[in-house]
Amino acid sequence: MKLSLKLSCRTLLKFTWGLVLTLMLAVLPLEVASARPGTLGRLQIARLHYEGGGDWYCDPSSLANWMALLNARTGIPTADTEAVVTLDSEDLYQFPFLYVSGHGRIALDENDLTELRRYLEAGGFLYVDDNYGLDPSFRTMVKALFPEDELLPIGSEHPIYHSFYDLAGLPKIHQHDGEPAQGFGVSKDGRLVLFYSFSSDIGDGLEDPEVHGDPAETREAAARMAVNIMMYALTHP
């Protein structure tokens, strides 16, 4: 059952989001439809529960807020809550978009790395938001995940900064140690499969306003970047 589910969902991931919405209603197994009532046909961001000691669960209000603003600004039907998956979850391939954040260490074993690479090469998209502290272990993980590729800077001309809003580049949400905000990525066969926001903290900017006390313009910058990331992922399968 696990193998057949993954194969059918990998096929779906190769289509544009509009087709995915239609096909999911028609061909996903009954067990999948009944597993998450109220989410079928709605975009739901999946947060990766990873090992290594890092707080994979950080910024708890950010993903629900992200989905709500996506619905309000783009009309994409979205779920009310995030999903949480591991790389051996049977429902991993339901989700075209996988989110990682944290302040600490991320560590994936060989099986996890194999599954994550398979997911990305099948059409999935990984967004990693360094919440100040994830960077060293994440870069080590990427070298193991794609040893033949480099994590390269993503310049301001890249379509991810222009997929919905025209942005000058990755916004700086929180200062921390003063490093400039910088986007990085890994591409396979001409498609960006992994986007990494360093020294920016998009997730913090998406949290409920009272959590960090960010001004409205800062939260708006985070919201616009978040919309762009998702719109790029959904329109570049």
Please tell me the distance from the alpha carbon of residue 88 to that of residue 9, in angstroms, as a whole number: 14
End-to-end CA distance of the chain: give it in Å, rounded: 25
129: which DSSP letter? Answer: E
Please tell me the distance from the alpha carbon of residue 137 to that of residue 37, in angstroms, as a whole number: 36
In this predicted structure, what is the pLDDT of residue 177?
A: 77
CB-side neighbour CA atoms (13 Å) of 97: 26
- Say yes or no: domain 2-235 is CATH 3.40.50.12140: yes
Of 23-37, 153-167, 188-202, 212-226, least confident by mean pLDDT is 23-37
User: Average per-residue pLDDT in the chain?
Assistant: 86
pLDDT band at 39 (very low <50, low <70, confident <90, very high): low
Q: Which of 49, 50, 5 is nearest to 28 (CA)?
A: 5
Two tokens, residue 7: 């194969």
Could you report the per-residue pLDDT of 72-121, keeping only the tens digit for each?
A: 999 999 999 999 999 999 999 999 999 999 999 999 999 999 999 999 99
Q: What is residue 235's three-state secondary structure?
A: helix
Give the start-to-end residue ranges of the domains of the chain: 2-235
Could you report the per-residue pLDDT of 42-62, keeping only the tens digit for each?
A: 999 999 999 999 999 999 999
Q: What is residue 56's three-state secondary structure?
A: coil
Q: Which own/partner contact pairs does 36-42 have at CB distance under 8 Å and 24+ positions apart?
A: 36/83, 36/91, 36/94, 38/79, 38/80, 39/79, 39/83, 41/77, 42/77, 42/78, 42/79
Q: Are 198 and 184 in contact (CB under 8 A)?
A: yes
Could you report the per-residue pLDDT of 115-157, keeping only the tens digit for each?
A: 999 999 999 999 999 999 999 999 999 999 999 999 999 999 9
Neighbours of 58 (CB within 10 A): 20
